[in-house]
Amino acid sequence: MSPNDPSLKSFIGVAPDGDFPIQNLPYGVFSTASAPTPRVGVAIGDHILDLAVLHGRGLLPEVGAGNVFATDAINGFMALGPAVWKATRARISALLRLDTPTLRDDAALRAAALVKRADARVHLPLNVTAFSDFFSSKQHATNAGKIIRGEASALAPNWLTMPIGYNSRASTVVVSGTPVRRPLGQRKPRNAEHPSFGPCANLDCELEMGVVIGAGSSMGEMIDEATAEKMIFGFTLLNDWSARDIQAWEYQPLGPFLAKAFATTISPWIVTAEALEPFRVEGPVQDPAPFPYLRQGPRRNYDVTLDLLLKTSTMTDHAPISRTNFSFMYWSSVQQLMHHGCTGCAMSVGDLLGSGTISGDARDQLGSLLELSWGGSNPIELPNGEKRTFLQDGDSLMIRGYAQGKGYRVGFGEAEGVITPALAPPV
């Protein structure tokens, strides 16, 4: 039976709106107070299945003799390749099924291998070897262009011919729950005569999906569609924190640099491409037709509902401020990967690609505060009456996401971070 079969049930109960049913089985890295060494696990319901323990008991033979799960990143497992990913997911699914007694009826094994998620600490799930960020939502690119350059030149002339991107920083990719310090930098407000150095005043979020590359490519080689499909291990939620005032002063002529290098938050559970396969949908019509090296079949997008939520320091709960969908993307993840390789740029195991901010057509489908507040000119109002254009110290920003199946959902958990005050600038 396919691990994606909607009728599958686990002996571990999962609510219909739970993120982690047996059809999901996302990978992450976790530790507990009693066993503080990080290891690889799979989220199932309110629990984590400890794969290092299962491998130690000989229950995951597909990965070979070396315990690739008794480590603090999934890179070693990913390096085994797509055939092993598939076989391992099928094995884990079988072990968790309602009708499989191995784990279900062995209380000692369950006690050793199942940890309550509430009792665990999650860690960055992979060693991020490189991070490139794209700009592939047409609605976001158009909105940002209108706000920054004006109506007439909203979409840059190259935008419809390729997925625009830039090389960002792997060193500051952090897991959900890590506080984000307001950055210092150079900025020059429009009415100021000279630039100054100080705390970012226009601190923003960007709601994106992260693509985790699990198989590398060789320098000097291109990446075709079939290869690109096989190279993608899975997806996370991703917040590309952005310092808009620093960005506006530094970006000409080489694009974003430090305005986006201080922090990027990802969700702790990597949802496999295989688990998302049932949620493929057609992407928007691409006109002009992409160059041959960028061509992909029509079902290139995924239907993943994405929520942006904000909680200020005076609020008790996060309030939704936007709902968008991964299916709105103009350029797909596979097209981004094919483009990344078209000059012969090598991709590595652990490469991370950001989709770019995901916005829809409607006013409440926008993936950044830049757009939601329209450049700061139209503050958003929160349920307690507070208003925001950009983020203030103490604000917590959260992204959630899920793909809805019949009677179950494949969820991503959350990517959250709270803003802490800037360092004092040197005088």
Residue 355: CB minimum distance to Ca ion, A: 8
Nearer CB in complex with Ca ion: 367/413: 367
98, 73, 111: which is closest to 22 by C-alpha?
98
Does position 206 bind Ca ion by CB under 5 A?
yes
**Torsion angle (degrees, nearest 10) of CA 158, 163, 165, 170:** -170
Residues 6 or more apart in contact with residue 19 via CB below 8 angstroms: 43, 269, 402, 409, 410, 411, 412, 413
CB of 1 to Ca ion, least distance (A): 39
Part of the chain binding Ca ion (CB under 5 A), chosen from 177-185, 201-209, 210-218, 403-411: 201-209
Which one, 133 or 395, has the nearer CB to Ca ion?
A: 133
CB-based closest residue to Ca ion: 240
Q: Which residues in 314-333 contact Ca ion (CB under 5 A)?
A: none
206 vs 416 by CB, closer to Ca ion: 206
The answer to whether 123 is a known catalytic residue is no
- Dig out the tokens for 92 from the structure: 């884990």
Closer to Ca ion by Cβ: residue 244 or 409: 244
- 134, 356 contact by CB (below 8 A): yes
Largest CA distance in the chain: 73
The distance of closest approach from Cβ of residue 154 to Ca ion in the complex, given in angstroms and rounded to an integer, is 17
Consecutive H or E run containing 266: strand 264-266
Q: How far is the CB of 260 from Ca ion (least distance, A)?
A: 6
Q: What contacts 377, CB < 8 A, 6 or more positions away?
A: 389
Cα 198 to Cα 40, 179, 202, 278, 369, distances in angstroms: 40, 20, 12, 48, 21
**Rounded to an integer, what distance in angstroms lies between the CA atom of residue 269 and that of residue 414?**
9
- Which of 183-191, 206-214, 220-228, 372-380 is the region at the interface with Ca ion (rule: CB under 5 A)? 206-214
Q: Which stretch binds Ca ion (CB under 5 A): 28-36, 85-93, 133-141, 275-283?
A: 133-141
Rounded-to-integer distance, Cα 213 and Cα 314, Å: 39
Burial 304-335 (b: 16+ CB within 10 A, else e): bbbbbbbbbeebeebbebbbbbbbbbbbbbbb
Contact residues for 313 (Cβ-Cβ < 8 A; gap 6+): 393, 394, 395
237-266 binders of Ca ion (CB under 5 A): 240
Which member of 47, 55, 140, 318 is catalytic?
140
* Contact assessment for residue 230 and residue 267, using Cβ atoms and an 8 Å cutoff: no
Strand runs (DSSP E) across 326-377, as ranges?
A: 351-354
Kindly state the smallest distance separating residue 78's Cβ from Ca ion, in Å. 24
DSSP bridge partners of 196: 187
Q: How far is the CB of 206 from Ca ion (least distance, A)?
A: 4
Number of chain positions touching Ca ion (CB under 5 A): 3
Q: Measured from the CB atom, is 12 or 209 closer to Ca ion?
A: 209
Region from 202-210, 229-237, 285-293, 340-348 binding Ca ion, contact rule CB under 5 A: 202-210
Closer residue to Ca ion (CB): 133 or 351? 133
For Ca ion, the closer CB: 40 or 261 = 261
Terminal-to-terminal C-alpha distance of the chain: 66
Q: What is d(CA 362, CA 379) in angstroms, rounded to the nearest whole number?
A: 17
Give helix then strand counts, H and E, for the chain. 11, 26
- With b for 16 or more beta-carbon neighbours within 10 A and e for fewer, the 26-56 pattern comes to bbbbbbbeeeeebbbbbbbbebbbbbbbbbe
* Least distance from Ca ion to the Cβ atom of residue 352, Å: 12
Work out which of 12, 21, 115, 133 binds Ca ion, going by CB under 5 A: 133
Q: Of the listed pieces 19-27, 69-77, 80-88, 198-206, which binds Ca ion according to CB under 5 A? A: 198-206
Q: In whole angstroms, how close is the CB of 357 to Ca ion at the nearest point?
A: 5
Stretch that binds Ca ion, among 235-243, 268-276, 383-391, 397-405 (CB under 5 A): 235-243
Which residue, 257 or 293, has its beta carbon nearer to Ca ion? 257
Instruction: Provide the annotated active-site residues.
Output: 140
The footprint of Ca ion (CB under 5 A) covers: 133, 206, 240
